[in-house]
Structure 1
């Protein structure tokens, strides 16, 4: 998992003084810091602590958390969240070298179009405040895998297999049964699948998912399929041969539940004020 995460001293006060890094903005809807569509800095700071507390109360060593970087009226009816990431409870090293325990967020982000094409992705660790700072809504969804699957996932994340299961070519609506493209949700599904079937053989993982995973259908028509790349280069449909189905919070939670891999799943609604 990249060892001990390091947190600069300024991060301790950044929740009150600065907006999230641009690289932290939603993998499916990047924007610039300070966009009024997102939570305020204070709201994001409180919400991140609220999520951490609920995960800790559940004893989650690794969970999958989902946010929406777009308001719900800008999303398909059956899609509620646009970005998901692993939250891992681990050691975090302060700038003075001392250690603290907390959650580190493991993301797959697409490129910004300048340093990396938007049609390619990279893996990056950041922190809960970065995650909530890119939310446009007042809730997140959480999936906590079964403890045994959590342990297997953590072993994968601590090994070369974690990066080995990353596909750099990016599509907002990638097909979980195909190895051509990947997005944040499909990457998480691939890690879960590797843990469930105890294999890092990517073609085998894709074959297993083709047989056992049912994605969320994204309604479209032929003209949209043809012209979508002109409107948004991240929408790539070449890995779909029939209906367009992709990985969402709902389909990922359903997969874990169906195959006995789920501890629990729930939605956290943001509180206006935290109580301690």
Structure 2
């Protein structure tokens, strides 16, 4: 374990970031709890410790708010976020070191329409509190990509990559809509090609990124005849395709933007 990893692991033994509470705009916020409060805290700490052992200043972590057997084939997770190790200010004014979690959430239908999204920084406990399974998917960017992402996340340039119009199955080659994974992809692309030009990012992704196909039958079974404002498909000129943990990991590993991708199971 290198010096950074050792120091980070030690810090995580004595600090726990503030739990900001349930995030109503999160697509998983109303899901039935899979884990007990004790398990939620333990799983959050397990993920932090795992990232610390790998010396990760920036990682991309995925969870699912639906059981795996309710998801379409080839798609394991429904939500992903950046985990960034940095200073965190607690509610009592202290500044601690720990992982901050950077998300894109869709609206709750009350304060913001569900067809709109917003960016929110919260904490590992928020992330694990709404998981429907006992595993997460993790992508560890290369050290150079971590450096670039660390300098980008949370800045005005990062905010400018956010598209408010939301779709559950947004087309990552098209600029009209965005979901949480497409936002992650856009930020990764911005850091990889060192550009903040959104048209250029989309052109580069169309040339180099292969999205995940979503079978139309799954959408029909899930939504049936219902009209769901989160399900927009006018950006899909052909078969439904969107960004997922699987396609983002493949893109980053193939282009040497990530050092590894793996599934972490909750310790019993």
Bucket of the pairwise TM-score, normalised by the shorter protein: 0.7 to 0.9
The residue that corresponds to 2:30 in the other structure is: 31
Distance 2:17 2:243 in 1: 36
Distance 1:208 1:137 in 2: 34
169, 185, 188: which one aligns with 2:184: 188
The residue that corresponds to 2:114 in the other structure is: 118
The residue that corresponds to 1:4 in the other structure is: none
Shift of 1:254: 0.2
Instruction: Write the deviation string for residues 103-138 of structure 1: whole angstroms up to 9, x where unpaired.
Output: 010000000011100000000011100000010000
Structure 2 unaligned spans of 5+:
1-14
Q: How many residues align?
A: 253
Contact 1:24 1:134 in 2 (8 A): no
Contact 2:90 2:96 in 1 (8 A): yes
257, 260, 265: which one aligns with 1:264: 260
Contact 1:20 1:133 in 2 (8 A): no
The residue that corresponds to 1:247 in the other structure is: 243
Structure 1 unaligned spans of 5+:
1-10
Shift of 1:23: 2.6
Change (3 A) 1:235 1:24: closer
Question: Is the partner of 1:101 in helix, strand or coil?
Answer: strand
Distance 2:23 2:196 in 1: 32
Contact 2:107 2:117 in 1 (8 A): yes
Instruction: Write the deviation string for residues 178-198 of structure 1: whole angstroms up to 9, x where unpaired.
Output: 000000000000000000100
Distance 1:267 1:12 in 2: 23
Contact 1:20 1:134 in 2 (8 A): no
Shift of 1:78: 1.3
Contact 1:66 1:140 in 2 (8 A): yes
Change (3 A) 1:169 1:24: closer
75, 81, 105: which one aligns with 1:79: 75
Shift of 1:97: 2.7
Q: What are the within-5 Å matches in structure 2 for residues 68-107 of structure 1?
A: 68-107=64-103
Instruction: Write the deviation string for residues 47-98 of structure 1: whole angstroms up to 9, x where unpaired.
Output: 0000000001111111100000011121101111000000000011233433
Distance 2:213 2:25 in 1: 27
Q: What are the within-5 Å matches in structure 2 for residues 146-225 of structure 1?
A: 146-220=142-216, 224=220
Contact 1:170 1:181 in 2 (8 A): yes
Contact 2:23 2:126 in 1 (8 A): no
Alignment of 1:52 with 2:48, yes or no, is: yes
Question: Is the partner of 1:115 in helix, strand or coil?
Answer: coil
TM-score by length of 2: 0.88
Question: Is the partner of 1:104 in helix, strand or coil?
Answer: strand
Question: Is the partner of 1:152 in helix, strand or coil?
Answer: helix
Question: Is the partner of 1:77 in helix, strand or coil?
Answer: coil
The residue that corresponds to 2:10 in the other structure is: none
Question: Is the partner of 1:23 in helix, strand or coil?
Answer: coil
Instruction: Write the deviation string for residues 124-182 of structure 1: whole angstroms up to 9, x where unpaired.
Output: 01110000001000000100111111111121124311110000000011010000000
Distance 2:29 2:231 in 1: 14
